[in-house]
Structure 1
Amino acid sequence: MLKAREESLKQKEEELEMRDREQEKLKIELKKLQKMKEFKPTMAFPLGLSLKDQEQEKKDKKKSGRKKPSPPYVLWCKDQWNEVKKANPDADFKEMSNLLAAKWKTVTAEEKKPYEERYQAEKEAYLKIIGNEKREHEAMKLLEDEQKQKTAMELLEQYLQFKQEAEKDNKKTKKERDPLKPKQPMSAYFIFSNERRAALFAENKNVLEVARITGEEWKNMTEKQKAPYEQMALKSKEKYMQEMELYKQKKEEEAVNLKKEEEELMKIQKQEAMQLLKKKEKTETLIKKTKEKQQKQKKEKGAKNADPNKPKKPASSFLLFSKEARKNLVEERPGTTNSTLNALISVKWKLVVVVAVIARMLI
């Protein structure tokens, strides 16, 4: 009985030890996961346009007032609208449109010419702007794709490095505080407690006792007794506000400078993108020319090697049959489409083949 109890106790102890080990492992894994959540890549991502940015860009384009050029008729209508409206003051929009349309028919080619020229000029200018924008967008997309590949590789390297560091060190990192940011001013109570703390510690009081005593003393103090501390707190607050104002100004300046730097970087990237696009276009043109040259050489070679005296391949039985069948069908059914003729010829040919097979079997 005693042996059985001892064995059962040992088993329980072993089970408890195993549980403790598993719990420790789980804690370590949990710490690792917590560390993983804090992964922040220290790299600049490519300045590509997100969906929101693209939508905003479209809105900005609309707001900028850039419209498609109006055709000559619309330009002429704008000029003639007031005149026609004076002659027909009671006419609504539909009637006005009909009147203008009727009048436009009577306008000579010479009278239409200025509007057509104006339309052409506006159209050319519009197409030029659109073409440049499209080309720039294509170049930026090309550069963005290239940068994405580089970024992905850098990000992977950073993540692997971070993972290794996380496995070595599982300590939580504290949030970094801006050293230039002014510290919060102390309240009147904190100034008083700092003043009293040294004396209370000298009396061998612990932290909790010091906090309790200073709190009680502060509550029992009169407004007159609190006044000097409140004045000190007010002065420190004013000083803090001034420092904070300067800090904010500095931060705003930094933000403006950062924006300028980003704009400059974007300009440089656009230039790089255009160079990359030109390089791509040049390569594509070269490949195209090479292919055309090769095809031309093949054709010339084929033409040289072709023997004019070489007999042509004989036509197949189906081709010969289809020629005769087509003639007969055209005579029988004039106006029939080619697809219908092809279907009928195919059916007839199948019947001929079946008849031929049956005839062979009978023989």
Structure 2
Amino acid sequence: MAAIAEMPNVADPAPTKKARSRKALKQKTASTNEANIVAETLAESSPAAAALLPEAIAGKENHESLSKKTKKGAAKGKKQQQQAPEVSSFEKELQEMQEQLEKLKIEKEQTEEALKAREETLKQKEEEIETRDREQEKLKIELKKLQKMKEFKPTVTFPFGLSVKDQEQDKKDKKKNSTKKPSPPYVLWCKDQWNEVKKANPDADFKEMSNLIATKWKTVTAEEKKPYEEKYQAEKEAYLKIVGNEKREHEAMRLFEDEHKQKTAMELLEQYLQFLQEADKKDTKKAKKEKDPLKPKQPMSAYFIFSNERRAALVAENKNVVEIAKITGEEWKNMTDKQKSPYEKRAMKNKEQYAREMEAYKQKKDEETADMKKEEEELMKLQKQEAMQLLKKKEKTETMIKKTKETLQKQKKEKKITDPNKPKKPASSFLIFSKETRKNLAEERPGTNNSTVSALISLKWKEMSEEDKQVWNSKAAEAMEVYKKELEEYNKKVVAEEEAAAALMNKDN
């Protein structure tokens, strides 16, 4: 009974209601594990206490639920108090967020503009690179063309294509071989009188001598001057003949050169076109320099003679090319002077023979060059003859043209004066077209030459279709019909006048 009486003191929650605090509640609230432990201890001590334990635990749970309800009420009150400042802080945060969003939008727009500018610059750079690539491709194509042009080797002869040095040498030779102008009679007389005047005046210088001779020339009579003048005239005639012949030859050669240039140009064009066709079909390879087969080969040295003899034996032993070269080189190094001497003697003989053959080859080449020069000289003679024939033909044609012009002028002068009343022939369709177009062209292009205007008119007329020309043809036909009617009337008048004149003559008779 004593144990049962003491139980309310252990599990009584009533006195704890006055002092409500979180710390006190925490101390008094026991977990389920702790309650189980207390129950176990009480059950061990006394069975009566164990029977009353569930009631105590239930009372404790009620106390905990009450404390929780009070806590919730307090929390609600606090929340209602804190709601007002929380709303104001939320509005501030919203404003800040909106400002940040606006800033982000501005930054986004700026970045988009920067990206657009970058894209434009990249596009420009890409275009520049593309243009550079195109230019490089064009340059490559031009280079290929130039390389092909280098490979083009024409077979046309250019007898007149002299180099600058040759032209200068030719000018010098012409100056040396050119005929001198004849000296006048005064100079010829001076040459004869110089020594006599010098003997008379040995101390006189050149200026004094020239003055003395000039005064003496004034005293010379016409009869004394006559032989010098005759000599000068004869020399002058001979000089003029030579100069005239040279001029004629030069003109003839110029004509011949022009004709030859035209022919060579046509031949070159044909050859170049053939070359281009062949180049399109095949990739032209660089042709090696053609060696003269008649030129003697250079002799082998002593080492090469030895290596050629030794090679046959080493090849029989199945040695490689590199191995053969190494073995022959080592053997040649290890050989004595006595062992090398027969090969050196053979090399010397070959060298002497090569020198003889080269001398003969050079002589042959010199003879060939001399023959070529002779052939060129003969060719030049033939060309000069052909040139002279061309010149003669040209002169004949010029004389014929002159004669025809003179005869035409005479005929025009001899022609009777035409009747002013006779109707004139009408202009052709082309002439009518040219008159109208000439006016239009003069307005469109003021200051142009008549020759250019006439050329433009003829081009327009050629380019015109038959339908367009029909307008001008119809105008010309109408004018022709009017002309025919006027001619008939004029002829009738002339016949009537002639008959009247004849009748008058008969009356007078």
Give the alignment's TM-score, normalised by structure 1: 0.72
- 1-structure distance, mates of 2:279, 2:145: 6
Give the match for residue 335 of structure 1.
Answer: none
> Are 2:299 and 1:185 equivalent residues in the alignment?
yes
1:327-350 alpha-carbon deviations (Å, 9 max, x no partner): xxxxxxxxxxxxxxxxxxxxxxxx
1:238-277 alpha-carbon deviations (Å, 9 max, x no partner): 1111111111111111111111010000000000000000
Task: Say which of 248, 253, 271 aligns to 1:135.
Answer: 248
Matches within 5 A, 1:203-214: 203-214=317-328
Query: How far has the Cα of 1:292 moved from its partner?
Result: 2.0
Q: 1:40 to 1:159 in 2, by over 3 A?
A: same
1:19-68 alpha-carbon deviations (Å, 9 max, x no partner): xxxxxxx9999887645422211122234666544433332233237311
Give the match for residue 243 of structure 1.
Answer: 357
Give the match for residue 15 of structure 1.
Answer: none
1:184-230 alpha-carbon deviations (Å, 9 max, x no partner): 11111111111111222222222222222222222222111111111
> Are 2:98 and 1:98 equivalent residues in the alignment?
no
Identify which range, 265-274 or 51-60, moves more after superposition: 51-60
Task: Say which of 350, 367, 372 aligns to 1:258.
Answer: 372
Query: How far has the Cα of 1:289 moved from its partner?
Result: 1.4
CA contact (8 A) 2:184 2:229 kept: yes
Identify which range, 201-210 or 47-56, moves more after superposition: 47-56
CA contact (8 A) 2:198 2:204 kept: yes
Give the match for residue 305 of structure 1.
Answer: 417
Task: Say which of 261, 267, 276 aligns to 1:148.
Answer: 261
Task: Say which of 79, 82, 94 aligns to 2:192.
Answer: 79
Give the match for residue 229 of structure 2.
Answer: 116
Q: 1:87 to 1:78 in 2, by over 3 A?
A: same
Q: Which amino acid is the alignment partner of residue 75 of structure 1?
A: L
Give the alignment's TM-score, normalised by structure 2: 0.52
> Are 2:321 and 1:201 equivalent residues in the alignment?
no
Identify which range, 225-234 or 40-49, moves more after superposition: 40-49
Task: Say which of 392, 408, 415 aligns to 1:294.
Answer: 408
CA contact (8 A) 1:139 1:274 kept: yes
Query: How far has the Cα of 1:127 moved from its partner?
Result: 1.0
Query: Which consecutive residues of structure 1, in runs of 5 or more, have no partner in the other structure?
Result: 1-25, 309-363
Identify which range, 38-47 or 105-114, moves more after superposition: 38-47
CA contact (8 A) 1:185 1:233 kept: yes
CA contact (8 A) 2:151 2:286 kept: no
Q: 1:51 to 1:28 in 2, by over 3 A?
A: closer
Q: 1:278 to 1:51 in 2, by over 3 A?
A: farther
Q: Count how many residue pairs are aligned between Structure 1 and Structure 2.
A: 281
Q: Which amino acid is the alignment partner of residue 241 of structure 2?
A: K
- 2-structure distance, mates of 1:267, 1:43: 20
1:263-316 alpha-carbon deviations (Å, 9 max, x no partner): 000000000000000001111111121122222222332xx30789xxxxxxxx
Query: Which consecutive residues of structure 2, in runs of 5 or more, have no partner in the other structure?
Result: 1-138, 421-509
Task: Say which of 279, 289, 299 aligns to 1:166.
Answer: 279
Q: 1:96 to 1:31 in 2, by over 3 A?
A: closer
Give the match for residue 502 of structure 2.
Answer: none
Q: Which amino acid is the alignment partner of residue 141 of structure 1?
A: R
CA contact (8 A) 1:36 1:166 kept: no
CA contact (8 A) 2:183 2:232 kept: yes
CA contact (8 A) 1:47 1:266 kept: no
Q: 1:31 to 1:109 in 2, by over 3 A?
A: closer
Identify which range, 286-295 or 128-137, moves more after superposition: 286-295
Instruction: Spell out structure 1 runs of 4+ moving beyond 3 A.
Output: 26-36, 46-55
- 2-structure distance, mates of 1:29, 1:66: 52
Cα RMSD over matched residues? 2.4
SS in 2 for 1:285: helix
Larger radius of gyration: 2
1:163-188 alpha-carbon deviations (Å, 9 max, x no partner): 22233332332221111111111111
Q: 1:245 to 1:290 in 2, by over 3 A?
A: same
Structure possessing the higher relative contact order (Cα contacts under 8 Å, 6 or more residues apart): 1
Give the match for residue 229 of structure 1.
Answer: 343
Q: Which amino acid is the alignment partner of residue 350 of structure 2?
A: S
Q: Which amino acid is the alignment partner of residue 263 of structure 1?
A: E
Aligned identity (percent) is 84
